[in-house]
Amino acid sequence: MELLSPVGNFDNLIAAVQNGADAVYLGADVFNARAGAKNFDRNELKEAILYAQKRGVEVHLTLNTLLFNHELQEALEVAKFACQCGISAIIVQDIGLALELIRRFPDLPIHSSTQMTISNLDGVNFMQKLGFKRVVLARELSMKEIDQIRQNTTMELECFGHGALCVSYSGQCLFSSIVGGRSGNRGLCAGPCRLNYGLLKDGKNIENGYLLSPKDICTLEILPQLLNLGIDSLKIEGRKKSYEYVSIVTKMYRKYIDLAKDKSKEYKVEKEDLQQILQIYNRGGMGTGYLENRQNIVYPEKPNHLGVYVGEVKTIDRKRKRITIAKAEEIFTGDVINIRENTSYISEIVNGNTVGEIKNIENVRVGDEVYRIVSNQLNKKQWEIYKKEVRKVEISSKLYLEGENLRLELYNNEIDVKSALKYEKSDVNELDKLRVLCQIQKTGNTIFDIKNVEIEVENLKLPISQLNQLRREAIEKFEKALENSIVRRYDKAMDLEIPKVKKIAKVKPKVNLYLQKFDNQIDYAQIPYHEIYVPFKDLAKAGSLRDCIAVLPNIIDENYEKLIEENRAFFEQVKAVQISHLSQIELLKRMKIDKKMVADDTLNITNHLSEKVLQELGIQRFTISPELDKNAINEFGSNLEKELVVYGRPCLMTSKYCPIGKNGDCKMACQKGNYALKDRKEFVFPIVSDSVNCHTRIYHSKALTRSAREMPVDFARVDILQETEEEIQEIFSRINSEKTNRLK
């Protein structure tokens, strides 16, 4: 199992490599899902690849955001540059870019990002058929589900083992984009899930807190089970985290992965090591996320680093801004503590438990809990190993005479270099084999460790300085050869230019009705729709509605798959099937359901290359992403039918976590009232729970409208969630108005 560590800057690269990572993942300065990290420009990227790979560490590049048409060319150039520098793999979200890379760079492994929401075997198999080398699985999968996938695929599987957990399925969240104007799919997530919310039931507030803020995950305790699953790569989240974080977390996982592999030793995680993990970063403790189907996913009390409990306030000296602490843990000068959300740097310690100067001391009370959020001693230890070369490359050597030359050969399985020194015997400094051996193995703080030395000469009569010079020259030559072996030679001629988009004519769109849920109180037959979208699980209620399209959910688990299998007859009565994830193409083929396929906006189609992929896969229509503006929409150019949502509450996120039943003592509470979340600005976001797979969908606080005029779209879609029949009729009346063809 590969240990894959996060790298947001060069310091963190050193931390990951020197503490035992097998591979690292990092972003260029464009098109990566952590735009807030420092990341790497092209010169730094080349240097980073060489630094890591010379030490036997693979480097994965994250080109894992959705792209617009005008960005495709630059993304391809970045990929080509990384490829030529010797990148080990590229992680991609955008399906159009991914297949373009697979086609143009057939020898370069392309990994399916967790942003592609691969949550079942169909998804894994479909990605493999498309040419992906590895799938980064959705973080919502349990070990049981991962095992079922592992037993039925040869695909490389990567899963998250430590760090932040998103409350929404990655790639299925528009909360930050639509509400805050910062797209998570574009690397700019503002983290609205980390804010404070109230939970409403039938309009009444029943709970408050950080109700969508998950704890971080830590899998140290279950590493043997993960190892037995056959996971190919265990990923640490944290490209925006500190050097100390990367250093400590990588070191701990290296230690315990190695221990789990050693069957001769008992596997036990030391308390001190867990304490270090908690000290460097934790959100209300740590859990294993969904891997063990645990229910305590969210910590509602605090959304950021909690720190480690060190005691409680015993006495307060408000004049001198000092407190004494009844200690549970040792504290030191330079630590940072937190009391009642006020942080203070400890500038002095008196008698071991009196500290100052405390900020906002007027708010502090006797008995308040004290947490250390920064440990000065722990952090200093991490920097002590900075640039200390502990990651050595083992090589062998051979010293022998060849005519008048003394030759030193350095080699391993891939590289063999020879250096020569004209041998002129000296009358002094005769060196025996032991002395020669010691000199040849003096590699200092280089990356090399000369393990095997073969000496085919007896005593040498030459100055030690000459032998040292020969060794230095050989090592420099070997290092250069090592660098050259890393650079990927890609000589195949290829046209990097992205084909231009062929403009398509604008037409007056037909108006379709889309039901987020079926309401028995509404006579949908009276609505003047062209086609009607109905959730698959509600098809029985739809009866004989004309021009019906069955809607599959964006996440299909075993419950939904069983329901679809048992009710395949319903597909006979529908006009088409709307897929909400590419993997559902595989599902429909496997179940021999042959219907026209239309794609929902959950497929995140944002450029004409992705549009082209849909066409090649047999999809005949797609819904335009709500993240696209008019200019981007006008740049689509295929003959595929296009649909634009002109009215509706966008689904902001799909989550496996249930803020209503807490996934613990559920009792189907979600079906016994109308639930919503209310934010600090009093906006109310409806919650709709799916009783089939117990997934939660959170919708925008208000319906959004946009005009389809002057757009190259064939259909205008009206999304309905809570509207009455009269309101729906009014919406259609406005849209169908010949004067405006848009909502007011």
Q: Each residue of 588-630: pLDDT tens digit?
A: 999 999 999 999 999 999 999 999 999 999 999 999 999 999 9
Position 326 scores a pLDDT of: 94
Tell whether 516 and 481 lie within a shared domain.
no
Mean pLDDT of 440-467: 87
Instruction: Tell me how crowded residue 535 is: count the other CB atoms within 10 A of its CB.
Output: 20
**Tens digit of pLDDT for each residue in 531-585?**
999 999 999 888 889 999 999 999 999 999 999 999 888 898 899 999 999 999 9
> Would you say residue 672 lies in a domain?
no
**Tens digit of pLDDT for each residue in 16-25?**
999 999 999 9
Tell whether 426 and 449 lie within a shared domain.
yes
Position 664 scores a pLDDT of: 47
Q: What gap in Å lies between CA 328 and CA 451, rounded to an integer? A: 47
> Would you say residue 411 lies in a domain?
yes
Question: Which domain CATH number covers 347?
Answer: 2.40.10
Position 316 scores a pLDDT of: 95
Tell whether 439 and 379 lie within a shared domain.
no
Position 663 scores a pLDDT of: 43
> Would you say residue 179 lies in a domain?
no
User: Hey, is 722 helix, strand or coil?
Assistant: coil
Cis peptide before 357 (omega within 30 of 0): yes
**Tens digit of pLDDT for each residue in 367-413?**
999 999 999 999 999 988 777 888 999 999 999 988 888 999 999 98
Position 7 scores a pLDDT of: 97
pLDDT bucket at 66, cuts 50 / 70 / 90: very high
Position 741 scores a pLDDT of: 43
Res 744 pLDDT > 50: no
Contacts of 580 (CB under 8 A, 6+ apart): 551, 552, 553, 554, 599, 600, 602, 603
- Of 287, 322, 337, the one marking the end of a domain is 287
Looking up tokens 């438990």 gives 353
> Would you say residue 682 lies in a domain?
no
Tell whether 271 and 359 lie within a shared domain.
no
> Would you say residue 739 lies in a domain?
no
Query: At 53, phi and psi to the nearest 5?
Result: -70, -25
- Give me the chain's average pLDDT, please: 92
Of 689, 694, 699, 692, the closest CA to residue 720 belongs to 699
| Pairing label, strands 675-678, 684-690 | antiparallel
Residue 252 near residue 271 (C-beta atoms within 8 A)? no
Position 691 scores a pLDDT of: 85
> Would you say residue 194 lies in a domain?
no
> Would you say residue 225 lies in a domain?
yes
Tell whether 368 and 481 lie within a shared domain.
no
Tell whether 515 and 560 lie within a shared domain.
yes
Residue 97 structural domain: 2-165+214-287
Q: What gap in Å lies between CA 134 and CA 90, rounded to an integer? A: 10
pLDDT bucket at 431, cuts 50 / 70 / 90: confident
Mean pLDDT of 699-728: 94
Higher pLDDT, 506 or 621: 621
Structure tokens at 149: 């996938």
Res 742 pLDDT > 50: no
Mean pLDDT of 270-297: 92
Domain count, the chain: 4
pLDDT bucket at 507, cuts 50 / 70 / 90: confident
Beta strands in 528-655 (DSSP E): 532-535, 548-551, 576-579, 596-599, 621-623, 641-648, 651-655
Res 303 pLDDT > 70: yes
